[in-house]
Amino acid sequence: DIQLTQSPSFLSASVGDRVTITCRASQGINSYLAWYQQKPGKAPKVLIYAASTVQSGVPSRFSGSGSGTEFTLTISSLQPEDFATYYCQQLNSYPLTFGGGTKVEIK
Amino acid sequence: EVQLLESGGGLVQPGGSLRLSCEVSGFTFNNYAMTWVRQAPGKGLDWVSAISLSGGHTEYADSVKGRFTISRDNSKNTLYLHMNSLRADDTAVYFCAKCSSTCSTKWFDSWGQGTLVTVSS
């Protein structure tokens, strides 16, 4: 099974900060990686798919990059509504797996 | 508007069974693969199972293989998860999600709000 390791697991940041979250895969997954945002008590929402394609309706401050085994999610200027938990997911092969999550909190 | 509505969760004793349903609307159900994802209280996301457009191909996480069965009724626009031999570590909110096409190599583009399954005596 492909393991995904997200770092950091917790991040404290201020409004306006640039934030980067890393996701490392235990083996190559091409660009079959998605990023999701989840707020407390809500369902996850896709932000990025195919490693770098921004889902329709998602603000342009969100971007993704990477291929193979190392990927990043970047929020260029953190907004109040961005405080949430972020998960990466590999869709290269079954079983489909998620990273452990990165909780972004207000400093 | 795409909508997914899960139902069927509740309290069940260890070793018991439960069937979850996910009724969808707003898209052509039989054009998309579907999937279940769960989240234990305070924990991360855990993929459970996926099913192809026709229902002829299914995939499972090792943790549920042999105990859970995913199915779909395209005439009723409904996805199911039959859960047997339930254990305490199956306690979670169960989300159904729509895959953007197939599930592998694509992404989960719409999610339901989830239904809570609690396994306890």
For residue range B17-59, what is the model confidence (pLDDT) as tens digits?
999 999 999 999 999 999 999 999 999 999 999 999 999 999 9
Closest by CA to B92, choosing from B67, B113, B117, is: B117
Share of chain B above pLDDT 90, in %: 96
Query: What is the CA A107 to chain-centroid distance, rounded?
Result: 20
CB spacing of B106 vs A89 below 8 angstroms: no
* pLDDT band for position B94 (cuts 50, 70, 90): very high
Residues in chain A predicted with pLDDT less than 70, given as ranges, are none
| Chain A residues inside the 8 Å CB shell of B95 | 43-44
Q: What are phi and psi of B56, to 5 degrees?
A: -80, -15
Check residue B118 and give its pLDDT: 98
Greatest extent of chain A over all pairs of C-alpha atoms, in Å: 38
What distance in Å separates residue B13's CA from the closest CA in chain A?
25
Sign of CA dihedral A93, B49, B38, A1: negative
**For residues A17 and A72, is the Cβ–Cβ distance under 8 A?**
no
The nearest CA of chain A is from the CA of B95 a distance in Å of 8
Q: In the predicted model, what is the mean pLDDT of chain A?
A: 97
pLDDT at A106: 87
Mean pLDDT of chain B: 97
**What pLDDT score does B52 carry?**
97
Contact B45 A36 (CB under 8 A): yes
